[in-house]
Amino acid sequence: MDTLEVKNLHVAVDDEDGHQVILKGVNLTMHTGEIHAIMGPNGTGKSTLSETIMGNPKYEVAEGDILLNGESILDWPVDKRARAGLFLAMQYPAEIAGVTNAEFMRAAINARRDDDHQISVREFIKKLDEKMALLDMPDEMAERYLNQGFSGGEKKRNEILQLLMIEPPFAILDEIDSGLDIDAMKVVAKGVNAMRGPQFGTLIITHYQRLLNYIVPDVVHVMMDGRIVKSGGPELAKTLEKEGYVGLRDDLGLDVPLTDDSDITPGKGEA
Amino acid sequence: MAAFGPKQLDPAAIAAAYGPLDADPWLTTQRQAAAAAYADAPWPEFAKVTFHPWKLFGDGTAAGVTYPEGAPAAPAGVTIQPLLTAPAAVLAPFKPYLFHQTAPTDRLTAYHLAHLNSGFLIRVPDHFHSDQPLVLNTQLLAGVNAHRHLLLLVGRDAQITVVDHFTGEAGADSADSIVTEIVVGEDSRVDFANVDAFGANITAFVRRQAQVAANGILNWTAGVLNDGNIIADTSTNLVGTGSTADVKVVALATGKQVQGLNTRVTNIGRQTTANILQHGVILENATLVFNGIGHIVKGARGADAQQENRVLMLSRTAHGDANPILLIDENDVKAGHAASVGRVDASQMYYLMSRGLTKELAQRLVIRGFLGAVLTAIPLPAIQQQLIDTIERKLIHGQRIAHQQS
Ligand SMILES: Nc1ncnc2c1ncn2[C@@H]1O[C@H](COP(=O)(O)OP(=O)(O)OP(=O)(O)O)[C@@H](O)[C@H]1O
Ligand SMILES: [Mg+2]
C-alpha cells in the first residue's frame, strides 16, 4: 500500500497583484485503494492543491510538507514525482503540436522503465487499442497531435486515456467531468472505475455530486478558503448538493467570504 | 585575423602566396581578380543578422579539411577531381561555369575566391542515371581556415543524388568559407542534400548557388546543424522554362550561437515552380534567422513561388525570426507564404514532464515533432536518416552542455 500525505500545506503564488496566499494549512492522507473527493466553491484552492502536489513550479510552498510513502517530495521536480507514482489529470491540459498522442504516451510509459525493459510497439498498441475502446475513442485520436484542436470533452477523455495507459498508484483528477455531456461523463467514470483496486488511489475534484454517483468515493472533503473544513462519507456530497456552501459555512461558523453570498449550490456555481 | 576583415587584398600578394597551389595559372588570375574586387565589394546581405563583427576572415594555404572516409569516390561514369590540382585540360570543360554563379560581387565571396585552399569538380554526364548517391564526407579542421569550393556540373537528361556532409574537428578556432555551385542541365533531376554540422570553434560563411535549366528539377535538402556562428545562403535560379526547385531546410540552434540563413529561389524562366519549406528550432540563448526569399522576375510568366518558414523557440532567451521576403515583378504568377515564430512555453513543458518525461526528453520530443514536418517530406530515406541522426546528436550534445552550465 502506498501513502500520500499532505501536511499543514501553505501555498502562495506571486502574480501582478503581488504575493497571494492560497492554501492555508491543508491536511490530507490518502492510501492506494481509496477514492477521495474534494468539493468546494470556485477559487478556494482545489487546483492549487493538485498542482502543488504534482510539482507545478508556479506554486511556492510556504509551510508544511508533501510526503510520498513517508518521503518528502517537495524538492522533487514534476517529472520525478510523476515517475514516483503521481498523476494529475489537469483542468486545462496543454496542447502540443508535432507530438502525437501515441508517441507521447509511449514515451511516458518508457520513462518509468529502464532501457532493457522498454515497452514493445506491439504490446503498446495492444494496450492502447484496449484502453481507447474502453473510452469509446476513435482510433485516429492516437495519431493526432497531443490535445491539439481537441474539444473540451476530448481533452478530458484523453487525460483518462493517459491515466489508463500509465497506471500510476495515485491520480488527482481535477474537474475531469466539467464540460462533459452525460454520456461522456459515464465513459470517463467507467475509465476511472477500471483503475479502481488496491493498487490505485485517486483524489477527485469536482463541482458535481453527479460524478460521485458513478465513481462512489470513500471520503468526501470540503475545501473552503484554502483549507479542508469538513470530511465525511459520500453522503456529505449529497448534503452539499442540497444545502450549498453557504449553509455549510454557517453551520461550521466559519468566517469565509464566498464569491456569491447568495445560495451557491455545487453544480450551479459553474457555467 | 581581426573581425571585419582586411580593408583590401593585394592581388600580387595573393598570387604569390596562393598561386603555387594552382595547377592551372587561370585559377591564379581568378584569385587576383577576386582580390582586386574585394575592397569595394559590399557585404552579402543577411537581413536581421549582425554577422559583420564575427571572425569570418582567416587565411592560409593549408587545405583546412580532411576526408574521414577517404577521398571522395564517384559512381562509375561520374568524374570527381580536386579543383586546385586540376591541370588546364581537366579544368577546360568546367571553365564556362566555374565561379560564374559565385562571382566576387560580395566581400565574403571575394575573400573566399582569393583564398581557395581546397575543392572539387564533379561532372555528371548527359543521360547518366543512378540511384546510388555520391557522398562527400568532409571534416573541417580545427585551427586551419578552410576555403572550400565545389562545382557540381550535371549534364542533360541525367539523374543523381549528392550528399555534401560536413563535420568539424574540435579544437582551435577557424574561419571557414564553403562555397558551392550547382548546375542542373535540361531535363535532369538532382537530389542535393547538405548536412552541415560544423563545430562550435568554426565561424563560417556558407554559400550554395544553383541554376536549373529547362524542365530540370532540383530537390534540395539542407540540414543546418552547426554549433558555431554561421551565415548560410542557399539560392537557386530557375532559369529554364518549366524548371522546379523544392528546397527543404531544417535548422537547429543551441547554446549561444547565431545561425542566419537566406533561402532563396528566383523564378526567371516561364512556368517555373519554387517551393521553400524551412523549420528551425532554437534552444537556450541561441539565435536563428530564416530569410525566405522568393523572387519572380519580369518575364517569368506562369511562375509559382511558395514558401513556409517556421521557427520554434524552447527557451525564453532564444531569439528567432522568420521573414518571408517576396519580390514579384511579373503579373501572371502565383505566390504564397506562411511564417511563424512560436514558443514551447513553460506550461507545455510542465504538461509533458507531468507524465514522467525528463525535461531533455520532453524537449527532444517537441523538437522532433516540429522538424518532422520537413523530415518526413524528404524523398530519400538515407538523407532523412542522416539528418535525424545528426539532429539527435546535436540535441543531446547541446542539452548536455546546457545541463552542465545550469
Ligand atoms: N498561477 C496563479 N497565479 C495567480 N493566482 C492564482 C494562480 N493559481 C491560482 N490562483 C488564485 O488562487 C485562487 C485559487 O485558485 P484555484 O485554481 O486553486 O481554485 P479552484 O478551487 O481550483 O477553483 P475552480 O473551482 O474555479 O477551479 C484563485 O483566487 C486564483 O485566482
Ligand atoms: Mg480548479
Residue A14: Cβ within 10 Å count: 11
- Orientation of helix B359-375 relative to helix B381-405, angle to 10°: 150
Q: Is A265's pLDDT higher than 90? A: no
* Amino acid of residue B134: L
Burial of B61 (0-12, 13-18, 19+ CB in 10 A): middle
Structural domains in chain A (count): 1
**Closest CB from A88, A98, A108 relative to B369:** A98
Confidence of residue B1 (pLDDT cuts 50, 70, 90): very low
* Amino acid of residue A251: D
- In 3D space, the residue among B140, B4, B134, B131 whose CA is nearest the CA of residue B64 turns out to be B140
**Closest CB from B346, B351, B358 relative to A93:** B351
Q: Is B213's pLDDT higher than 90? A: yes
Which of A9, A39, A46 to mutate for ligand 1's pocket (most ligand atoms within 8 Å of CB)?
Answer: A46
Give the C-alpha distances (Å, rounded to integers) separating A262 from A91, A243, B146. 26, 12, 79
CA of A174 to the centre of ligand 2 (A): 7
- In 3D space, the residue among B103, B25, B24, B119 whose CA is nearest the CA of residue B71 turns out to be B119
CB contact under 8 A, B354 and A57: no
CB contact under 8 A, B355 and A162: yes
Q: What is the mean pLDDT of residues B307-315?
A: 94
Q: Is B276's pLDDT higher than 80? A: yes
CB contact under 8 A, A98 and B368: yes
Q: Which residues have CB under 8 Å from B225's CB, separation 6+?
A: B195, B196, B197, B250, B251, B252, B387, B390, B391, B394
Q: Is B329 left (phi over 0), alpha (psi -120 to 50) or beta?
A: alpha
Q: Is A268's pLDDT higher than 60? A: no
Q: Which residues have CB under 8 Å from A242's CB, separation 6+?
A: none
Closest-lying ligand 1 atom to the alpha carbon of residue A59 = 1
The Cα B347–Cα B350 span in angstroms is 5
pLDDT the model gives residue B376: 83
Q: What is the mean pLDDT of chain B?
A: 94
Residue B93 DSSP label: G
Nearest bound ligand to the CA of residue A40:
1
A261 vs B188: which has the higher pLDDT: B188
Confidence of residue A269 (pLDDT cuts 50, 70, 90): very low
Q: What is the mean pLDDT of residues B142-171?
A: 97
The pLDDT tens digits for B386-397 are 888 889 888 888
CA quadruple A79, A84, A86, A87: dihedral sign: positive
Q: Is A150's pLDDT higher than 50? A: yes
Q: What is the mean pLDDT of residues B143-162?
A: 97
Residues of chain B contacting residue A95, judged by C-beta atoms under 8 Å apart: 348
B392 vs A122: which has the higher pLDDT: A122
Residue B96: Cβ within 10 Å count: 9
- Ligand 1 binding pocket, CB closer than 6 Å: A 13, 15, 20, 22, 40, 42-48, 58, 91
Looking at the domain assignment, is residue A73 inside a domain? yes
Q: For this complex, say whether ipTM is above 0.85.
A: yes
Confidence of residue A266 (pLDDT cuts 50, 70, 90): low
pLDDT the model gives residue A271: 37
Give the C-alpha distances (Å, rounded to integers) separating A268 from A106, A188, B277, B325. 39, 21, 50, 54
CATH of the domain at A81: 3.40.50.300
Q: What is the mean pLDDT of residues B128-157?
A: 96
Q: Using an 8 Å Cβ cutoff, are B281 and B371 in contact?
A: yes
pLDDT the model gives residue B384: 85
Nearest bound ligand to the CA of residue A22:
1
The pLDDT tens digits for B47-69 are 999 999 999 999 999 999 999 98
Confidence of residue A159 (pLDDT cuts 50, 70, 90): very high
Q: Is B221's pLDDT higher than 50? A: yes
Q: What is the mean pLDDT of residues A49-56?
A: 97
CB contact under 8 A, B359 and A83: no
The pLDDT tens digits for B316-374 are 899 999 999 999 999 999 999 999 999 887 889 999 999 999 999 999 888 888 898 88
On whether any CB of chain A is under 8 Å from the CB of B347, the answer is yes
Q: How far is CA A15 from the centre of its chain?
A: 24
CB contact under 8 A, B369 and A100: yes
CB contact under 8 A, B356 and A108: yes
The Cα B402–Cα B389 span in angstroms is 20
Q: Is A118's pLDDT higher than 50? A: yes
For residue B245, give how far its alpha carbon lies from the nearest alpha carbon of chain A (Å).
26
Those residues of chain A whose CB sits closer than 8 Å to some CB in chain B are 54-57, 77-79, 82-83, 87-88, 90, 93-100, 103-105, 107-108, 111-112, 145, 162, 166
pTM of the model: 0.82
pLDDT the model gives residue A250: 86
**Closest CB from B352, B355, B366 relative to A166:** B355
Q: Report how many Cβ contacts below 8 Å link chain A to chain B.
A: 76
Confidence of residue B16 (pLDDT cuts 50, 70, 90): very high
Looking at the domain assignment, is residue A267 inside a domain? no
Q: Using an 8 Å Cβ cutoff, are A13 and A7 in contact?
A: no
Looking at the domain assignment, is residue A257 inside a domain? no
Q: Using an 8 Å Cβ cutoff, are B294 and B339 in contact?
A: no
Q: What is the mean pLDDT of residues A196-211?
A: 95
Q: Is B189's pLDDT higher than 60? A: yes
pLDDT the model gives residue B368: 85
Tell me which residue range forms the domain holding A202.
Answer: 3-252
Grid coordinates given for A171: 491520480
Q: What is the mean pLDDT of chain A?
A: 92
Grid coordinates given for B207: 554559400
Q: Give bridge partners of residue B206 from the DSSP assignment.
A: B178, B232
* Amino acid of residue B193: A
Q: Is A259's pLDDT higher than 70? A: no
